[in-house]
Amino acid sequence: MTDPHPELDTLFAQARTLTPADHTAAARFLEAHRAAQTQARARHTRAGWLSAALGAAVVAGALMLRPAATALPASAAYDVYQSAWGEGW
């Protein structure tokens, strides 16, 4: 059986063959891709530090603004126990 379109076979063979221009384009793409990954990683790191700092500020603010702890009232059972045993039990 003969090939009805031999020029297509030639075109496909040329398309599969890598040229120096293909290698250069691949190198440019990889360089740009690595640079974008580095920038994204740096952005995520900065965002992580910012989130941690804001979280710490919220916690510190909540601890500073909360009302002072008041003395707990003695329970009736403790009063009865202390009166039964006296001071310094």
Residue segments in the chain with a per-residue pLDDT below the cut of 50: none
CA distances from 43 to 30, 38, 46, 47, 48 (A): 20, 9, 5, 6, 9
Q: What is the pTM for the complete model shown?
A: 0.46
Give pLDDT, residue 2: 67
Give pLDDT, residue 6: 78
